[in-house]
């Protein structure tokens, strides 16, 4: 009987969760450090929550759940209702009730129901009616240092796109031992601007063909950082620099940015290693880089310390091109010589020109720079 009574008490104590509905719901601190942008009569403000702010507003710590809450406020100054497309912000975004479930306890009963109600109440709600302002939390995957936040607002036959760069508090769920790298910038005196496609193509063909470790540089990304960032985020690429990436050198330095596309079960497959090049096109930045995949692709161990690049780098390059076509941000596409050739490589680099979304597949201009084979 004593054992049964003890067991009952254990379950009762487990069911009496420690979660308490926060007494304070003031968002003034979030509002005071929000980053804002305006486009086509719509103003968006957003802030990444710190760990303390997460506990204060949500009553729990989401660090273990690997969820990064972002406070978003949208003022709709148009005559049409707008809908926030959450998958444009994060293709793997978390719903409020999904995150609430991570805070549940066994036999939580009414407490778990209260958690669900609280998280659902704080989640961002559509639509944003004309002339109104709506605020709420969007639950995203973690980023470190600076978070690029896509905001795609759908209206009647319209899409209002905005891109914000949000500082990530050091104590947030994304904070880790590896600090986020700041993008490399050249002094203006070291940049050569090209105003036409012919001189640009010649300059691209003179760029290094491979890293100092022999990895082919088979892609060029060109455009405003907001537009490039928006395109890769919409296709589920995330910053994920590893030791094997940092060993690659171009222009005497490690990659300025490394992104990986998350595959099934969060196993990384395709990567992008990119370096800012000392040239611009019509004032826009140019990045030379590598699209590659590990040997084994999605079947490679996600935590492998030694990464070998699959020799068919052309396939990874072409898959990236197709991905960016579907991103809604690709404006022009060309192929130029200059990448290191190999047994399974044609030595061409894909040159991708980005513009502000939304663009369709039919909008992409194909530059007839080189004759392509059957790949």
What is the domain count for the chain? 2
Q: What is the pLDDT of residue 310?
A: 83
Give the per-residue pLDDT at 10.
Answer: 47
User: Does residue 11 fall inside a structural domain?
Assistant: no
Note whether 132 and 279 are same-domain residues. Answer: no
Residue 6 has pLDDT above 60, yes or no: no
Q: What is the mean pLDDT of residues 22-26?
A: 78
Same domain, residue pair 316 and 223: yes
- What single DSSP character describes residue 189? G
Q: Does 66 map to a domain?
A: yes
CB of 281 within 8 A of CB of 304?
no
Q: Which residue has the tokens 């404006």?
A: 331
| Whether residue 287 is found in the same domain as residue 341 | yes
pLDDT of residue 187: 94
CATH number at residue 111: 2.60.40
Name which of 20-29, 184-193, 246-255, 271-280 the model is least confident about: 20-29
**Contacts with 320 (C-beta within 8 Å, 6 or more apart), sequence order:** 219, 270, 272, 291, 350
Q: Tell whether 154 and 200 lie within a shared domain.
A: no
Burial letters for 196-226: b for 16+ Cβ neighbours within 10 Å, e otherwise? ebeebbebbeebbbbbeeebbbbbbbbbebb
338-363 residue pLDDT tens: 999 877 889 999 999 999 999 999 99
Residues 159 and 245 occupy one common structural domain: no
pLDDT value at residue 100: 96
Q: Which of 56-70, 163-177, 306-320 has the highest mean pLDDT?
A: 56-70
User: What was the pLDDT predicted at 86?
Assistant: 95
pLDDT tens for 182-215 read 678 999 999 999 999 999 999 999 999 999 999 9
Q: Residue 333: its pLDDT value, please? A: 98
pLDDT (0 to 100) of residue 170: 82
Q: Which residues fall within 8 angstroms of residue 119, CB to CB, at 6 or more apart?
A: 58, 96, 97, 99, 100, 103
CA nearest neighbour of 270 among 235, 226, 231: 235
Per-residue tokens: 318: 């072409």
User: Mean of the per-residue pLDDT values for the chain?
Assistant: 89
% of the chain exceeding 70 in pLDDT: 87
Q: Which pLDDT does position 130 carry in this prediction?
A: 98
In a domain, 181, yes or no: no
pLDDT band at 18 (very low <50, low <70, confident <90, very high): confident
Regarding whether 279 and 151 lie in a shared domain, the answer is no
- 198 with 340, same domain: the answer is yes
Owning domain of residue 71: 19-167
Same domain as 92, residue 53: yes
Domain boundary among 116, 137, 167: 167
Q: Give the pLDDT band of residue 21 (cuts 50, 70, 90).
A: confident
231 lies in the same domain as 330: yes
| 6 vs 263, higher pLDDT | 263
227 and 81 within one domain:
no
Q: For 168-184, what is the mean pLDDT?
A: 60
Residue 169 has phi, psi (to 5 degrees) of -55, 145
282 in the same domain as 333: yes
Instruction: Output the pLDDT for position 279.
Output: 97
- Domain presence at residue 65: yes
Q: What is the pLDDT of residues 98-155, one digit of tens each?
A: 999 999 988 888 999 999 999 999 999 999 999 999 999 999 999 988 999 999 999 9
* Last-in-domain residue among 99, 134, 167: 167
One domain, residues 131 and 242: no
């Amino acid at each position: 009987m004593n054992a049964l009574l003890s067991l009952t008490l254990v379950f009762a104590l487990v069911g009496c969760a420690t979660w308490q509905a926060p007494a304070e719901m003031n968002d003034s601190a979030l509002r005071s450090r929000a980053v804002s942008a305006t486009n086509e009569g719509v103003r968006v403000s957003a802030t990444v929550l710190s760990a303390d702010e997460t506990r204060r507003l949500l009553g729990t710590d989401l660090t273990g759940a690997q969820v990064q809450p972002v406070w978003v406020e949208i003022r709709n100054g148009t005559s049409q209702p707008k809908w926030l497309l959450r998958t444009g912000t994060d293709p793997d975004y978390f719903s409020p009730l999904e995150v609430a479930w991570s805070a549940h306890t066994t036999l939580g009963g009414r407490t778990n129901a209260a958690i669900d109600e609280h998280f659902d109440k704080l989640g961002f709600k559509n639509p944003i009616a004309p002339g109104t302002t709506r605020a709420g939390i969007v639950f995203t995957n973690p980023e470190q240092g600076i978070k690029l936040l896509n905001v795609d607002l759908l209206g009647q036959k319209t899409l209002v796109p905005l891109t914000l760069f949000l500082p990530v508090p050091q104590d947030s769920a994304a904070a880790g031992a590896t600090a986020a790298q700041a993008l490399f910038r050249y002094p203006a005196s070291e940049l050569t601007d090209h105003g036409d496609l012919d001189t640009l193509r010649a300059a691209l063909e003179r760029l290094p063909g491979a890293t100092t470790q022999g990895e082919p540089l088979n892609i060029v990304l060109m455009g405003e950082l907001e537009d490039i960032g928006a395109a890769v985020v919409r296709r589920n690429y995330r910053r994920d620099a590893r030791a094997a990436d940092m060993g690659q050198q171009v222009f005497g330095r490690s990659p300025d940015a490394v992104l990986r596309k998350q595959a099934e079960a969060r196993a990384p497959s395709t990567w992008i290693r990119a370096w800012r090049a000392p040239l611009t096109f019509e004032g826009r930045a140019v990045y030379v880089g590598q699209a590659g995949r590990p040997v084994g692709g999605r079947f490679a161990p996600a935590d492998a310390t030694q990464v070998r690049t699959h020799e068919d780098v052309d396939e990874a390059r072409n898959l990236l091109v197709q991905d960016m076509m579907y991103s809604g941000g690709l404006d022009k596409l060309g192929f130029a010589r200059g990448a290191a050739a190999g047994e399974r490589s044609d030595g061409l680099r894909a040159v991708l020109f980005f513009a502000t979304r939304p663009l369709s597949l039919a909008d992409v201009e194909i530059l007839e720079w080189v004759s392509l084979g059957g790949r």
